[in-house]
Amino acid sequence: MISYNDIEAAAERIAPFARMTPLLTHQALDAETGAKVFVKAESLQHFGAFKIRGAFNRLAAMSAQERAKGVLAFSSGNHAIAVAAASKHFGMRATIVMPADAPKAKLDTTRGLGAEVVTYDRAGESREAIGARIADKGGMIIVPPFNDPFIAAGQGTVGREIVAEIAPDIVIAPASGGGLVGGTAIAVHHAYPNAKVYAAEPQGHDDIVRSLASGRIEKNPPGIRSFCDALMVDQMGDVTWEIAQKHLAGAVAVSDEEVRDAMRFAFRYLKLVLEPSGAIALAALLSRKIEARGKSVAIVASGGNVDPALFAEVLQAGPEAAPL
């Protein structure tokens, strides 16, 4: 279990690299939910997502000898970009294993930052197995997307920033492997032990929902079932599962259409461009999966790295906009 002290140390390490993102409000959001809602706009973070917090914390904590070995990461996009950016900053070589169907914007950005990209078929191949083979052959250090104490502590600085500004009753964050929601929960509970922290997952990739119900790590069956491309790992890791058991009040599953509605809502009222995964926590609130009426609620909008064509399609498919 990582501690709040680990998150404090991470905050100090990443201070030169990470932006303190704003908490946004809008009367339409409060009226729609009956709550006082604050949206943590990590889509405005450097490189468009929260992932740089964990990646920079992990690489900044490495020794010069470790950095000389280079790093290997596997990711559908945002962690890939973050590791590539951190590697470039520290003058390290980086190889990133990414699904061939990852958004083109994420693939292009990762390559543009100087990382070598190895693609794979996410429906039939294991990114962990591919990454392990490459890392073993090249002597590289694996930087996982979530199941690592330094990664989770870095992501936990999101929660540290939230409680520095507000006293939340409820916090909702996107969840795949659980690094963001877990680290955030530790930071929130350090300041406000009675706050309830929830994970938001895509329907069909709701392993945290099922894990919390069964009391053991559950695995998602193979196959792609969501357009939330950043939230489709097989299962939690032991590091994040330990945090989840202690700190999460629950988890909810959200449909693709509910996520699309949230993307449109965020663009219309908050003027935020959110990728599907970045909008899922807002979707959980707007779809009333979590009862929040009369509460102070913090929502983590985790990223905005969406392909322009997909974003345009989402906006155009929505109902005709009413006057603001």
List, in order, residues 6 or more apart from 83 with CB less than 8 Å away: 55, 59, 71, 73, 75, 94, 96, 115, 143
List, in order, residues 6 or more apart from 227 with CB less than 8 Å away: 256, 259, 276, 310
Residue 63 to residues 10, 67, 70, 136, 141, Cα–Cα distance (Å): 15, 6, 11, 19, 12
Please say if the pLDDT value at position 133 is more than 80.
Answer: yes
Render the burial of 218-237: b for 16+ CB within 10 Å, e for the rest.
bebeeeeebbbbbbbbbbbb
Please say if the pLDDT value at position 323 is more than 60.
Answer: no
User: What are the beta bridge partners of residue 43?
Assistant: none
Per-residue pLDDT tens over the stretch 135-175: 888 899 999 999 999 999 999 999 999 999 999 999 999 99
Q: Where are the domains of the chain?
A: 4-49+149-316, 52-142
The pLDDT assigned to 75 comes to 87
Mean of the per-residue pLDDT values of the chain: 94
271: nearest Cα among 27, 24, 18, 33? 24
Fold of 4-49+149-316: Rossmann fold (3.40.50)
Please say if the pLDDT value at position 51 is more than 90.
Answer: yes
The tokens of 256 are what?
């693709």
Give the pTM. 0.94
Q: Evaluate whether 4-49+149-316 and 52-142 have a shared fold.
A: yes
- The hierarchical CATH code for the domain 52-142 is 3.40.50.1100
